[in-house]
A and B are shown apart, each in its own frame.
Chain A
Amino acid sequence: MKRLIFLLILPCLVVNANAQKYMTKNGFIGFYGHTPMEDIKADNNQVASVLDISTGELVFQVLIKSFHFDRALMEEHFNENYMESDKVPKSIFKGRITNLSSVDFKKIGSYDVTVEGDLTIHDVTNKITTKGSIEVISEGINANSKFNIVPEDYKINIPGLVRDKIAKSLEVTVTMKYSPLPSK
């Protein structure tokens, strides 16, 4: 995966062209689940992502251990019992914007997009499709999305005792602020 990202970047460093690829290493992905017992909430501010505006391809990757909880014990359980982050340290999304033609990357403004691709969590890959928005600003590109995932779809085992405590579905928020990759 790391190689893949480097391969995506490499042409930009070599070819002298207008920025086609945009990148961030400081992206935000958070999730939130509500149950009568408690709210589950975690933030990850270390998301690495590359957006290729010529093809609409998008890659995201995160370290599971970079998810930050307000409660230390919840973070420990998340890593050890549910995500098994020692065994499966990363989550990856690889996909593309399907309605790329409706985005004018040369014009400042906000555009609705649909993104589809493969989301790999806990070593289980599922196809997902989600709505989002692309905002073209003078400094770069912002991307936002909200969608739901079901832990069961990713073989995340939740023991019966606490199953009702943990939300069946989690709302995932994605907020990216991309900068153009330097082209010399």
Chain B
Amino acid sequence: MSHVVSSAAKTGADRKIALLDATAGVLAKHMPAIAAAVGLVVLWQFVVWAFKIPTFMAPSPVDVAYAFQQNAGILWTNMLPTILEAFLGFVFGNLVAILLAIWFVHSSTAEKAFYPIAVFIKAIPIIALAPILVLIFGNGLAPKIIIAGLICFFPTLVNMVQGLKSASPAMLDLMRVLSASNTEILWKVRLPSSMPFLFAALKIAATSSVMGAIVAEWIGSSFGLGALIIEATYNFRSPLLYATVVIAAVLAVVLFFIVSVVEARMIRWKPAGSH
């Protein structure tokens, strides 16, 4: 009995050591990046201090850290709506793009009719579109979600159309010999083979959806990280402005990371013929 317990305790300890080893490994792997980042922050602090740059013009890292602590409540309450807008924009923009891509692949008429319109919408500067949407949908969440969605929409549409068409002719011949229906070809061949293309687009969309939400909040909004950026700028609260920008960047990185993790879990295969 005691033997069992001790061996269990030993495996527990082993696991802790393994975890430490893994953490150390990750740290060692990213050491150059970590060192470079820390170095740049130190350099920034030094430049601000050495040239006596006024805080409103460019705050030092210490000032920014202090602003985080001072404005934790404001940052938090303004971050939540931005997360919601970016997330919903991400979901709807990509969903519409995926469905449209499936339609395009099955109907060349639909592709010919709507692809140019999609390109035209993409060509409108998003900043120019924001006031129009605010006029139509008011000051709430809706125009921000739409703009975040529009920013995600185009890269996903283009990639998804390409991905759905990436199945090899031989694979389609195989499905024809098996008398497979179009629906079966879509589910068994086209959608799975489009996944690498889709995730390439989703990674772009993850970061740009945050940007879309923030840009939308610049136009007459009273909440969100975008509104906070405008307010902090006009009031010369530069440390708060920097803190907001850091949060926005972290938000985008986290979304990117989540998409990457899902991708790694979903796509374990490699294209045929590669080793």
Is this pair of chains taken from one and the same complex? no
